[in-house]
Structure 1
């Protein structure tokens, strides 16, 4: 079986017509488990969780409208999972939990895009990398990976080592492996799965998330996986999946997780 649980409608519309463009590609690529996980910051209901000037310019959805879209899809027997990709925000655990519990998500993705006021993966902030100490950014990033896992609020952690997106990577390999080790250990003690994401192949870093060494640590510690493309346009659904499946099998994975209303099941990797 194949999954694609991390996809976004934000470049189009929250309409059944646009959603069907995504599910059609998933069907063509024999992806049995497909989900939409819109960025939580787009919704008015998350204003008390994450708010900064960049985010506020992009807050334009209402959760009622989002939920209605899935109900329309399900009424037409379209096989699509309802999810959200939430920016894990330190100090906002109560607010995040209240939001997550308010809706019947099939699964919830937690991701880290912000280190304080630094949008680590945003083109607008790219020059900021040259002004900052890479090791310090990585330490703070993986601090959040650890506390995200410890919160046990999320079913999946998105693009686990997104911090490498612009090819800023610590030169000290021992330091880097220490960050990987503490991330994998924290995830192993949580319910959180790791996604193998092909999105990194379409970014400056030009490689899958996560790094093979990090994924191997996750495998050896018993952390389950899902497959994701992080498609923001229909044609990217299931993109480069042969590479994702190859990496999964190389480090030893034979199964992936599927989700239905928060309940997970282990199935054979396709």
Structure 2
């Protein structure tokens, strides 16, 4: 079975195309399921749309959900259109996010850490003037947040768990192996999956999130895996899906998972 659970569209302000464009791209790519998973609004902010170039406005989430549900009905029998959403993990606003998101019939919610210490993980300037000890502290805080997101019970899978390397490839070389193993164990214990996300190729790091070394450890600890292109334009739907499946088999995975009605469904690779 072929699927892609991570896609965006124009509402977030930094992606191209309509939801229908992504569904049609998935049909053309021969997928059996396509997940629509745009960024949640910033529910922790007072403004209607606090960051127009990053996430949709609060009033748009109902329109988003309605549109996906309509397309789900329209394409029934042709492709399974899944209602997802990508939610930031902000500990201080977590209950607000949980309460709002509980109002909608999501097939799954992706939990992603995009900010550490109030600074974007993709901001390469954050690393300037930090010594070796501070580099380790930042990396460990990133993984503490990922651990907490896994424990939260809100998310079916976690997005791009080493994406902090995106615009700072040296992130991968910061020593924190113990923390990485601890994080994967927490993820496995709480039955949360991680995605192989092929959007790393659009950043300075290139390649996929997470790295092969992390995937090898994930396999060792019994972490479930899923696939997401993190497409911000329809042409990237299912990007490198077959290559990812082949690599997972080489690492030792036998199956991967997708989600419907928040139920985990395992399918052979």
Match of 2:191 in 1: 191
> Which piece of structure 1 moves more, 129-138 or 67-76?
129-138
The Cα shift of 1:138 comes to 0.6
Match of 2:262 in 1: 262
Whether 2:51 is the aligned partner of 1:56: answer yes
What is the CA deviation profile of residues 28-87 of structure 1, one whole-angstrom value per residue up to 9, with x for unaligned ones?
Answer: 22221211101013xxxx423x679x9534443522211210232123135311111000
Whether 2:48 is the aligned partner of 1:32: answer no
Aligned residue for 1:81, secondary structure, equals: strand
Aligned residue for 1:209, secondary structure, equals: coil
Whether 2:84 is the aligned partner of 1:83: answer yes
Quick check: 1:170–1:176 contact (8 Å CA) kept in 2?
Answer: no
Q: Give the distance between the partners of 1:56 and 1:18, measured in 2 at CA.
A: 20
2:171 to 163, 169, 173: 169
Q: Give the distance between the partners of 1:171 and 1:194, measured in 2 at CA.
A: 21
Q: Give the distance between the partners of 1:77 and 1:240, measured in 2 at CA.
A: 24
2:127 to 108, 129, 135: 129
Match of 2:142 in 1: 141
Q: Give the distance between the partners of 1:85 and 1:74, measured in 2 at CA.
A: 18
Q: Give the distance between the partners of 1:12 and 1:88, measured in 2 at CA.
A: 17
Q: Give the distance between the partners of 2:152 and 2:6, measured in 1 at CA.
A: 21
Quick check: 2:19–2:68 contact (8 Å CA) kept in 1?
Answer: no
What is the CA deviation profile of residues 206-236 of structure 1, one whole-angstrom value per residue up to 9, with x for unaligned ones?
Answer: 1111111211111111111111100000001
The number of residues matched between the two structures is 255
Quick check: 1:159–1:196 contact (8 Å CA) kept in 2?
Answer: yes
Whether 2:19 is the aligned partner of 1:23: answer no
Match of 1:113 in 2: 114
| CA RMSD of superposed structures (Å) | 2.2
Quick check: 2:109–2:156 contact (8 Å CA) kept in 1?
Answer: yes
Whether 2:248 is the aligned partner of 1:248: answer yes
Aligned residue for 1:168, secondary structure, equals: helix
Unmatched runs of 5 consecutive residues or more in structure 1: none
TM-score by length of 1: 0.87
